[in-house]
Structure 1
Amino acid sequence: MLFLVRRLVHPAWLVAAVAFVALIGAAGFRATPSVMLHPLHEEFGWQLATISAAVSVNLLLFGLTAPFAAALMDRFGIRRVVAAALVLVSLGSGLTVFMRTSFELILLWGVLVGVGTGSMALAFVATVTGRWFVKRRGLVTGVLTAGGATGQLIFLPVLAYLIEQSSWRTASLVVAGAALTVVPLVLWLLRDHPSDLGLPAYGATEVVPPVPAGGAARRALGALRDASRTRAFWLLAGGFAICGATTNGLVGTHFIPAAHDHGMTETTAASLLALVGLFDIAGTIASGWLTDRFDSRILLGAYYALRGGSLLLLPALFGDVVRPSMVVFILFYGLDWVATVPPTVALCREYFGDRGAVVFGWVFASHQIGAAVAASAAGIVRDQLGNYDLAWYVAGLLAIGAAGLSLMLFRRRGAVAFAPAMAGAPGSVPR
């Protein structure tokens, strides 16, 4: 059966399909925090700022793990790293049913799940597409990025329903089981490199063996050291930090509690956030298609500017029922949610060559630092002011600033070597 599939389609598409399923399995826990804030607050009496701190640790490690995971995939292979990451997600989610203190919440929800999901973050997407695809790379990046949104779409309404009908513990066990179920599929079908099968990457004509990698930590830190000397890295990292603050950190974590503050039921709010995931699938795939055809700097500038405008309008759209204006926001914001990923990955390849995936891991780390800061800051704003309005306004202005950072990448595009080892490599690096 497997041999027949390989004869009919290039194995790159099978690898992409398995990666997509793995991303969905990990996305279950990514969807969990926003529907658990109030249940945990009601059961344990923890302040929202305390629970948000655990979310912040999760988001921070989700980002900081990514570049090391990308380097570990170079060293030990995609399959081993992804399988181990899914086991960590399952353990971190399942063991929360036994927790009694906020420290345990931070350890399980923050550390274990943060490291596990971070190992399957967008650096994983960049690694798969960089190894297996030459043609359709932008499109496949968009599709795999949408895997997280698909997981959110699948899990959010289910988790909200389980919490409402049973308890948050039931929801945690469902997420743990979903992550664990994907492990056998990864071990069976996910392959590390096309040369393992004696084939070129999709769209290539020659079989290129993998370059032996040194220590994962040394490779990741070396990529950061060299990239941090370039102007492009800081512009990309700054824009992506704001991207994280305005998506995972603020909307992903606090949209449901904010809607609940205005009288909307948590199940209804979770369904709206799931719709963001639905429209995100279309938006991210479309962004991948556009990235293959248009300048990524223009795309990023447009995405961030439109996102900023929509966030400035959001406080006026909340209510106890879903109005047409809120549906329009959900549609628009969903299309823009992670549409920034394909052009950012493309720019990392353009500027940083064959270390683009590892450098993107560090750019993604900035995304999650922004998300962590926003998750905690919004919780503090809510505790101190009694509403989230200030958080939405600040996020909107920051997003407009990110548009400016993206357009600044147009300056000084002359090519220079990223590092001595990169000289003459494809995709030599402009500063």
Structure 2
Amino acid sequence: MNIVQNRPFGQRYAFVVVGVIFLSLLIAAGLRSTPSVLMLPLEEAFGWRRDTISVAAAVGIFLYGLAGPFAAALMERVGLRRTVLASLALMSVSTASSLLMTQSWQLVLTWGVFSGIGSGAVASVLGATIVNRWFKTNRGLMMGLMSASSATGMLVFLPFLAALAQSGGWQPVVIAVSVATAALVPLVYLFVPERPSSIGITRYGAEPGEIEQPSLAASGNFLTITFGTLAQAAKTRVFWYLFATFFICGFTTNGLVGTHLIAFCGDMGIPEVRAASLLALMGIFDLIGTTLSGWLTDRFDPRKLLGVYYGIRGLSLVYLPYSGFSGVSLTIFAVLYGLDWIATVPPTLRLSNEAFGDRSGPLVFGWVVAGHQVGAATAAFFGGALREMQGDYVLAFQIAGMTAIAAAALSLLIEPSETLRRRAAQPA
């Protein structure tokens, strides 16, 4: 008997699914941001240089993004629940295994390779797949909520993990993350059906009896479909504009700020817990900003929204090294940057769906997210390497700010939504 049959609430059961997936995305984001908390304790415990530790963070971020499009196809081919459950188990086992490490390559293997692959399936692509499967209306708002989970992950995890690291070193941090990911397995198993039709309902906002679209990867080799979709998307300019802007998005968020802000603050004499609280403050405001961005994306031109978001981000990054690192200036930075952190996701997903359709859109978005994580991985290593060469992070943050301003200009080169929808509707 299927344990997820006969659920109550009708179409509103979609919000139960969103709640469980929100929690999964939240904890996956907490895992992915944990290397920023581990950097100083690992440096002290093992004597590893920051650029060495940054390699593990960079590998994890890169695979986190690269796994996305394959996970999207695998969810259709073998099932969303199976894919997510296997990924959560891999995340828990890989992080727990790092308790046994004695060499830096083991850090790369556990927190880089395996946790990167596992968390890559529990990321933005999962949110996009859930939103497309379970909602016909209010997609921008729901994707905003899903995207905000990564900020909420920082909000919930980082101050707590920083306090653990400060009092007990790196091992308690690892144990907390491993236990949290393992606790998600029964929740997903019990409360997340494969799709609305699995429990006899339609998508939220759909008419009764509406037939679901056939899955893009319901048959055939999922690797062939994943790369085939990329090959078709790569022939269009809109894909490369989205890929380039999301590369910069990753470069300026997870990669640089998410990985190195705590260490940057440490260089300026700010304790680790206080620095982690800055990221938590960003998390509060990103929860607001990204949810608002989803609402705005349902109503306004997504290209112009992206232009505004990247412009604000660039100015914030240019400002930070010259802020004086006072309580007031850091709070201003945290608020401005927090409102903008993942606000780019809802308009980027909308443009992807409009350009490539509801069936291919999430998979193409997976490749765009891969670009995001390539950018993040680049910045994670780049920031650590430049810190070792320059002795500070000033130049790294200045460069990141200028790239964000460039992304604002690129966003405005994307064709209007009407043109994208008309082209997507034409036969291939």
Report the TM-score range of the alignment, normalised by the length of the smaller protein: over 0.9
For residue 264 of structure 2, the aligned residue among 258, 261, 269 is: 258
Q: TM-score, normalised by structure 1?
A: 0.94
**8 Å Cα contact 2:6/2:199 also seen in 1:** no
Partner residue, 1:287: 293
Partner residue, 1:367: 372
* In 2: Cα distance, 1:323 partner to 1:152 partner: 20
**Shift in Å, 1:368:** 0.4
In angstroms, what is the RMSD of aligned CA positions? 1.8
Matches within 5 A, 1:376-415: 376-410=381-415, 413=419
Identity of aligned residues (%): 46
Matches within 5 A, 1:47-196: 47-196=49-198
Partner residue, 2:283: 277
Partner residue, 1:351: 355
Q: What 5-or-longer segments of structure 2 have no aligned partner? A: none
* In 2: Cα distance, 1:413 partner to 1:87 partner: 43
**Shift in Å, 1:198:** 2.4
* In 1: Cα distance, 2:382 partner to 2:288 partner: 30
Secondary structure in 1 matching 2:408: helix
* In 2: Cα distance, 1:288 partner to 1:415 partner: 19
**Shift in Å, 1:414:** 6.3
Q: Deviations over 1:138-192 (max 9, x none)?
A: 1010101111211211110110011111121111011000000010010111112
Q: Deviations over 1:288-335 (max 9, x none)?
A: 00000001001001100111011100001243xx42121011011001
Partner residue, 2:205: 203
> Quick one: structure 1 residues 414 and 118, their matched pair in 2 at CA, closer, same or farther if it must change by over 3 Å?
closer
**8 Å Cα contact 1:314/1:329 also seen in 2:** yes
Partner residue, 2:255: 249
Q: Structure 1: which 4+ aligned runs deviate by more than 6 Å?
A: 2-5
For residue 337 of structure 1, the aligned residue among 341, 349, 352 is: 341
> Quick one: structure 1 residues 227 and 263, their matched pair in 2 at CA, closer, same or farther if it must change by over 3 Å?
same
Q: Deviations over 1:205-253 (max 9, x none)?
A: 1132643332221111111000000000000000000000000000000
> Quick one: structure 1 residues 307 and 384, their matched pair in 2 at CA, closer, same or farther if it must change by over 3 Å?
same
* In 1: Cα distance, 2:221 partner to 2:248 partner: 31
How many residue pairs get matched? 420
Matches within 5 A, 1:412-427: 413=419, 423-424=426-427
**Shift in Å, 1:51:** 0.6
Letter matched to residue 380 of structure 1: A
Letter matched to residue 93 of structure 1: T
* In 2: Cα distance, 1:169 partner to 1:409 partner: 46
* In 2: Cα distance, 1:414 partner to 1:310 partner: 31
Q: TM-score, normalised by structure 2?
A: 0.95
* In 1: Cα distance, 2:281 partner to 2:205 partner: 34
**8 Å Cα contact 2:131/2:142 also seen in 1:** yes
Q: Does the alignment pair 1:328 with 2:324?
A: no
Partner residue, 1:313: 319
